[in-house]
Each structure stands twice: as C-alpha cells, then as structure tokens.
Chain A
Amino acid sequence: MKIFEFEYKCETSIIHKLDPRAKLVYVILFTVLTIYFTNPLILLLIFLSSVPMAILGKIVRKWLISIKSSLFFIIFIFLFNFIGIFWTTGKIIDTIIISIAMTIRFISLISIFSIFFLSTSPEDLMQSMIKLKIPYEYVLTFNMAIRFVPTLAREAQTIIDAQRSRGLEFEKGNIFQKVKKYIPILIPLIISSLRRAEVIADAMESRAFGASKTRSFLYTLTMSKKDFIFISICIITFTIFLFLRMFSYIQ
C-alpha cells in the first residue's frame, strides 16, 4: 500500500534553477489572466502556454499526475456549472461554452500552481520565505514538515504491516469500522513522531541552533539575468493576452 508519492527530487532543469520569486511573478500574472478571461479559446491558450513550462522543467509526468488526480473536481465543476447555468438561462449553447470555459480555467490554475510547486525545492521556498522576512523558526518548521513526510509515511507503512500481520483487516467493514481500525496505527505513529521530534531537537541543539540572533546563510537567493529574462517573457505574454482581448472587441 502506497500512501504518499511526495518526495522532491533534486532536478536541474532551467525552470528549477529560476529564482522562486521570478516563478511567483509567473504564478500571479497567469492566475490573474485565467480569472480575468471568460473566452474558452483564450483560456485554452493560457493553459497551452503552461505546457512548455512543464516540458522545460522536465516535470511532464508529475504535472500530468496532478491534473489527473483533480479529475473528480474537473468533472464536478463542469456539471455544477452546466446545471446551474442551464437552470437560470435555459440557453444550451451558451451553457456549454461557459461550462467548458470554467473547466479550462480550473485546469489552467492547477497547471500553473503545480508547475510552481513541482519545480521549486522546499529549500528554495524556504529561502524565499526568509527573503520575505518570515522568521527563521517558522521557515524551519515548514521545512521539517516537508522533510519528514516520507519518513513518516515509511513509518506508517511499517506499523500498518505490523498490525496487519497481527490480523487486523483494513478492507473489511463499513466506513465507521474502517476509521476505527486506523486508531491502532495512529497512536503508535504519534508516539514515535514525538520521540523523533525529541531526537531532532537534540541534534539541532548540538549544532548550535539558536546560538545567534542573526543567522547567516551559505547560499542566499539572488536574481540573475535568466530570472529577469523570464520575468520579461511573462510580462510580455501577459500584455499580449490583454491585447488579444482588445482585438476581440474590435472584431
């Protein structure tokens, strides 16, 4: 049984090497675009513009997985819009067009955000949080939470296997019985996490955590030429899309 597939792998694509703040500019601009437009063709174009990002970032497979895993919501949004709009307007063509537009809008948003998170290491995210003046303790907590997810998942797996070999059957029973069966997993998991937290705290203290009020960093984020080029491309694309709208009015 696999619980998580959530382990950031150190990749070295162009997109990975961009400064997270530059990528944040991308996320903001394109989120604005997807919310601003209602024309399904333009929304489709916006979605298509995120495809090269996934390809350049060498994250196509994971990117597809995150879109696929939101299939349920995609269908839900389509049906919800369809029924809602048809109910109020009664025009079948309009209804279909708007529902499709809404669906594409949602897929685009997922695409944009998953590109950001799939191509940004927790470490980089941490560094940009520091640059945004978030206190180091919070940033470190965030980092640890991400870092120990796979460890915790492995531990949960061990406990599940152990309980199963003692005869606990997870598949049987109705939903309440099933939930109840997870208690013998949760309790050992919580206890072992608390123990682990103690060990980690000791290890951090032994490496002088909290020694100096002004912590220094071996690496800090600096915007380089490629980041500015990337931001420029984003702004140019953004403006082209806006012009597209004016153009469609003129027509």
Chain B
Amino acid sequence: MTLNLEPNIADPDGFYDELLAVHQGLSDADSQALNARLILVLANHVGDRQVLRAALKVAAKR
C-alpha cells in the first residue's frame, strides 16, 4: 500500500465540521490531548508502517 494523497473523504465539508465540533469548547490542553488520541486511533487503523512513515514525512514537511 502507498499513502493516498488524493481526495478520499466523501463530503469533505461535513467531515471538517465534525473535526472542529469535537474540539468545540475544549481548553488548549484538552484539545491537544484529543488530537493525540485521534492520531493514535487513526495510526492503528492504518497499521502499515510504510504508509505511516510516509504520512509522518508529509506532515513534518513545511
């Protein structure tokens, strides 16, 4: 498997809404904790180390 960097989420605006909604009203610290949990949950779902490494690289590049 390779990292999919093409659009892959149905209803992108809806997803983005939901992402912001779970952070609504949280302190910075709580939001960051939530993000950390989210990353771990998603990373486990992906599982494939090569894909994860590629994703880390994409995210780390600025």
Partners in one complex: no
Task: Identify the A interface with B (CB < 8 A).
Answer: none
